[in-house]
Amino acid sequence: DGGITQSPKYLFRKEGQNVTLSCEQNLNHDAMYWYRQDPGQGLRLIYYSQIVNDFQKGDIAEGYSVSREKKESFPLTVTSAQKNPTAFYLCASRTSGDNEQFFGPGTRLTVL
């Protein structure tokens, strides 16, 4: 089955620790995205990557970092610099030439 996987589904971390969220896709999509979702806030774009070894900041990139070493993978690191990291994080991907984005199931991060 083709799709996007995010792991883990729930993640707990202590304040001050960095944490990396996984996103993998086997759809052969070129572009990948990370969004953050807070209640009543909709989706806000953190980072996106149009192609391997390239990525751009979205609207709320501060306190986050990404890498795109492989086409299938786009991990997101939530650093200790992120002031309020507790949220639901969604990864998405898209094939070039098409605007439709396919979403993973999300990771709920709770920082204690």
What is the smallest separation between the CB atom of 80 and other proteins, expressed in angstroms?
Answer: 26
Answer yes or no whether residue 52 interacts with other proteins by CB under 8 A.
no
Answer yes or no whether residue 103 interacts with other proteins by CB under 8 A.
yes
Answer yes or no whether residue 40 interacts with other proteins by CB under 8 A.
yes
Polymer length in residues for the chain: 112
Answer yes or no whether residue 96 interacts with other proteins by CB under 8 A.
yes
User: Which residues neighbour 97 within 8 Å (Cβ) at sequence distance 6 or greater?
Assistant: none
Which member of 11, 22, 27, 45 binds other proteins (CB under 8 A)?
Answer: 45
Answer yes or no whether residue 67 interacts with other proteins by CB under 8 A.
no
Give contact residues for other proteins (rule: CB under 8 A): 4, 6, 31, 33, 35, 40-43, 45, 48, 50, 90, 92, 94, 96, 98-106, 108
